Chains A and B, each alone.
Chain A
Amino acid sequence: MRTIESRSGIAAPDTFPPSSTAVWQHSHILDLDDFTREEINLVLEIADAMAEVLTREVKKVPTLRGKTVVTLFYEPSTRTRASFELAAKNLSADTVSIDASKSSVVKGESLIDSLRTIQALGADIIVMRHSQSGAPYLAVQEVNSSVINAGDGWHAHPSQALLDLYTIRHHLGRTDNLKIAIIGDIMHSRVARSNIWGMTTMGANVVLCSPATLLPRGLNSFIENCQLQNISIENKIEPALENADVVMLLRLQMERQQSGLLPSLREYIQQYQLTTERLSLAKPKALVMHPGPINEGIEVSLEVAHGAQSVIEEQVSNGVAIRMALLYLIAGGKNK
């Protein structure tokens, strides 16, 4: 008897974390503005379990057998789309991918008609990307399938923000009180918008840094009116980098730079490119992140993008685990 008693003391109690008590309420994932801290924690915890599945020789679990996941993309994408499809396949769901540029959309089918058609074909979950902000909000009013927003216009990209949080927590062990600098084309960035919600909900301090012309109009007064303590704005890169725990770069969206927002690309590079020298202003182990695709040599130097502090490729791998967690939660949620 004594043997057990003395030895059972060996088992470290800290290996039995209290189960997340969060109850999942979402039938759709549209943005992180309606996520609580507990819900984000739940997603990150489940993603961690999914990451274990991805280390196996056979990366497949039977969880979503018989469910159909449709990806409907009206904008080009490599990583988001591939990552959602892999996530669905790893969970044994059936997947159909529709590329709007090759579908009946070119024959003039409207978004709503396309959605209804997809629903009629039996989609349980629709993962959609659209160039119009708010398109997935319209979608949920028209169909009974669950909708996951994989990017809408400049508005939101919740799964990207969640995988960013997962990557940060994986490396730094926490999100509370971190200084996170988001640098670049904030105005056109749905990634920045979703990350602002997610990061501040998780207790981080976000510094947005960009030329004044690439900041969303009215952002200053928005921050003031809502008394957002943990968001600040810098127009110069140096103060934004100083003592930062995480440096997140945004792609300069060349396709959206028609309207003379920048004096010249050369000037942007001079003032805002993350170089090794500038990175040294941040904490020594600061993470360098980028949602991709990267314009190498524009927002980030080649050296930094592939340097020791860069976790850019890891963000991509973590994306699969996060999307598995989201599909799992959505498929098992209420209101089906």
Chain B
Amino acid sequence: MSERTLMSTEDMQRALVRIAHEIVERNRGAKAVVLVGMQTRGVPLARRLAATIQGLEGISVPVGSLDISLYRDDLSSLSLKPAVHRTDVPVDITDKQVILVDDVFYTGRSIRAAMDALIDLGRPQSIQLAVLVDRGHRELPIRADYVGKNIPTSKNEEIKVDIKEVDGEDRVIIVSSHKGVADENN
């Protein structure tokens, strides 16, 4: 088992500021933008993006939270993680530019579920995806529009994102749990 820090507090802040700029640029402002964080860690990230956009554009962008448990394609493995959080999207998303926000982008399955969940709430003009870390290994034809950092990984590794509001500090670490290659490299 080995651990390595990939993003520090400052790295995360810089990435979020850049993403906020990209969102404003691409959507020509933020008037029709709604940020929707995926439970759990996507929600504080979405709030921080909203705060930065407010600093840039002077408007307050609505922030919602989305729980995808009811849209998963692996109900049979639920016993590991039975909790479901409340979905709370405070505005009608119809005709809005909805930016989904998540911490780690991996197989794409949770984003697929999130898109289904969003479309059940209304008919957005577009759905865009912002992620702090893209670790690759997609299993579905889905890509991110805004990426904090691309981190090529092996499937034996785990990316752990800590967020101050949830975990007490900001950082991204990579944990290699398998015996062999990664450990030898350290």
Per-position binary interface string of chain B over residues 1-28, scored 1 when its CB falls under 8 Å from any chain A CB and 0 otherwise: 0000000001001101100000000000
Looking at chain A, what size class is its interface with the partner chain?
35 or more
Pick from B16, B54, B83: contact of A20, CB below 8 A. Answer: B83
0 or 1 for each of B156-186: is its CB under 8 Å from A? (1 = yes) = 0000000011100000000000000000000
From A11, A62, A334, give the contact of B79 (CB < 8 A). A334
Cross-chain contact of A58 among B72, B83, B85, B120 (Cβ < 8 A) = B120
Give B17 Cβ to nearest chain A Cβ, in Å. 6
User: Is residue B59 within 8 Å, beta carbon to beta carbon, of the partner chain?
Assistant: no
A222 beta carbon closer than 8 Å to chain B: no
Pick the residue among B48, B69, B85 that contacts A4 (CB under 8 A). Answer: B48
Which residues of A lie under 8 Å from residue B70 when comparing CB positions? Answer: 49, 53, 61-63, 91, 328
Report how many residues on chain B are interfacial, defined by Cβ distance under 8 Å: 39
**Assembled-state Cα–Cα distance A11/B47 (Å):** 7
A46 touches B164 (CB 8 A): no
Q: Which residue of A lies closest to B87 (CB)?
A: A52
Instruction: Write the nearest CB–CB distance from B63 to chain A, whole angstroms.
Output: 9
Q: Which residue of B lies closest to A63 (CB)?
A: B70
A1-29 CB contacts (< 8 Å) to partner B: 1, 3-5, 7-8, 10-11, 13, 15-16, 19-20, 22-24
A314 and B64 alpha carbons, distance in the complex (Å):
27
A327 to B143, CA, bound (A): 34
Instruction: Name the CB-closest residue of B to A47.
Output: B84
Chain B residues closer than 8 Å to A64, beta-carbon distance: 75
A10:B43 contact, CB within 8 angstroms: no
Decide: A45 and B83 in contact? CB cutoff 8 A.
Answer: yes
Tell me if A332 counts as interface (CB < 8 A to partner B).
Answer: yes
* Residue A48 interfacial (CB < 8 Å): yes
Contacts of A331 in B (CB 8 A): 75, 78
A7 touches B51 (CB 8 A): yes
Q: Which residues of B contact A51 (CB under 8 A)?
A: 86
Tell me, yes or no, whether A292 is within 8 Å of chain B by CB: no
Q: Which of A40-57 contact B (CB under 8 A)?
A: 42, 45-46, 48-53, 56
Nearest CB of A to B9, in Å: 9
- Distance (whole angstroms) from the CB of B136 to the closest CB of chain A: 26
- Min Cβ gap B72→A in Å is 8
Does A49 contact B67, Cβ atoms closer than 8 Å?
yes
Closest Cβ of chain A: how far from B88's Cβ, in Å? 7
Those of B65-113 within 8 Å (CB) of chain A: 67, 69-72, 75-80, 82-88
Among the listed B51, B85, B86, B165, which residue makes an inter-chain contact with A13, where contact means beta carbons less than 8 Å apart? B165
In the complex, whether A134 has a CB less than 8 A from a CB of chain B is: no
Asked whether any CB of chain B lies closer than 8 Å to the CB of A336, the reply is yes
Within 8 A of B (CB), among A256-308: none
**Contact, CB under 8 Å: B13 / A333:** no
Question: Which partner residue on chain B sits nearest A67 by CB separation?
Answer: B75
Give the Cβ gap from B144 to chain A, nearest Cβ, in Å: 21
Given contacts A46-B83, A49-B86, A58-B120, contact A8 B47 (CB under 8 A): yes
The reply to whether the CB of A311 lies closer than 8 angstroms to some CB of chain B is no
Q: Is the CB of B48 within 8 A of A8?
A: yes
Kindly list chain A residues whose C-beta atoms are within 8 Å of the C-beta of B128.
none
**CA distance in complex: A332, B75 (Å):** 5
Is there contact, CB below 8 Å, between A11 and B84? no
The answer on a CB contact under 8 Å between A4 and B40 is no
Q: Are A7 and B52 in contact (CB under 8 A)?
A: yes
**Contact yes or no, A10 B51, CB < 8 A:** yes
Known: A8-B47, A22-B82, A56-B120. Contact between A63 and B165, CB under 8 A?
A: no
B44 touches A49 (CB 8 A): no
- Bound-state CA distance A64–B10 (Å) is 43
> Are B47 and A63 in contact, CB atoms less than 8 angstroms apart?
no
**B17 near A1: Cβ-Cβ < 8 Å:** yes
**Residue B116 interfacial (CB < 8 Å):** yes
Query: Does B140 sit at the interface, judged by CB under 8 A?
Result: no
> With A16-B40, A332-B82 given, is the CB distance from A7 to B71 under 8 Å?
no
Residues of A at the B interface (CB closer than 8 Å) are 1, 3-5, 7-8, 10-11, 13, 15-16, 19-20, 22-24, 42, 45-46, 48-53, 56, 58, 60-64, 91, 325, 328-329, 331-334, 336
Interface residues of B (CB under 8 A from A): 10, 13-14, 16-17, 40, 43-44, 47-48, 51-52, 54-55, 67, 69-72, 75-80, 82-88, 116-117, 120-121, 164-166
Q: List 12 A-B contacts (CB under 8 A).
A: A10-B47, A16-B165, A23-B82, A24-B82, A49-B84, A49-B87, A53-B87, A61-B117, A63-B75, A64-B75, A332-B76, A333-B78
Excluding A3-B52, A3-B55, A61-B70, 9 further A-B contacts by CB distance (< 8 Å) are: A8-B164, A11-B165, A13-B165, A15-B43, A16-B40, A23-B79, A42-B82, A328-B78, A333-B79
